[in-house]
Amino acid sequence: MSIKEELNIDKLPKHISIIMDGNGRWAKQQGKLRVFGHENGTKSVREITEACAELGIENLTLYASSTENWKRPKLEVQTLMRLLISSLKNEIKTLQENNIKLNTIGNTTDLPKKVQRELFDVIEQTKNNTRMTLNLALSYGSRDELLNTIKQISIKVKNNIISHEKIDESVINEHLYTRNLPDVDLLIRTSGEQRIINFLLWQIAYAELFFTDILWPDFTKNHLYEAILCYQNRERRFGKTSEQLK
């Protein structure tokens, strides 16, 4: 029996998020520049996106670039932006054929204007697709997101739009980049690092974490199935006891 056949289709996570780490180290192992790793990492993006859609995963969020990535060498940042544009152009057909809607979270106003135009064009073309939503976290930082959320709510309280007594989790959720998404069920990080790195800190409050030594360009659909199988074999208690769940 294959790993895929072991999966319980009735217990799939509704929202998977992935920290796609290891492109640079993968390239170094090949004796290449870091940009070579980023170029090959796009192949894994395609394979994992298609695999999630085939399984019936409703939401997939990929950490494509963080607010901190702008501090990297200029050539690497330029390459990342170039790859983003070319990927969007190349993958629009795949998104349409697989009925996948593209969405973005993060401070996209920081992106180059050409990237913004290409990004929003694909978002517009796929807005009516219903099979799965692919969320690209671009120029994203969770602390930045929470700071912006606090500012927005504070302004509304000051202007008597919201009463401070009415602020609860639902109000906070409505002001996040992920306002239209469910909380993350499964967070995967590749490359062996076991850190969250400022990614969806509010949204992963009850997520199952899966860390793997596989570098992102080597991450295949079978590795995805392994992560989901591990998720399905865990008991998710959400603060309750095992007895309460039973």
Per-residue model confidence as pLDDT tens digits over 130-173: 999 999 999 999 999 999 999 999 999 999 999 999 999 999 99
| Residue/partner pairs of 5-13 with CB below 8 Å, 24 or more apart | 6/225, 6/229, 7/55, 7/225, 7/228, 7/229, 7/232, 8/232, 9/55, 9/56, 11/232, 12/55, 12/56, 12/57, 12/228, 13/57, 13/185, 13/186, 13/208, 13/228, 13/231
Say if residue 5's pLDDT is above 80.
yes
Give 127's pLDDT tier (boundaries 50, 70, 90).
very high
How far apart are the C-alpha atoms of 78 and 70, rounded to whole Å?
10
Catalytic residue among 8, 10, 59, 69: 69
Element containing residue 145 per DSSP (H, E): helix 142-158
Give 63's pLDDT tier (boundaries 50, 70, 90).
very high
Q: pTM of the prediction?
A: 0.94
What pLDDT does 32 receive? Answer: 92
Catalytic residue check, 213? no
Catalytic residue check, 69? yes
Catalytic residue among 10, 21, 90, 183: 21
Q: What does the pLDDT look like over 44-56, one tens digit per residue?
A: 999 999 999 999 9
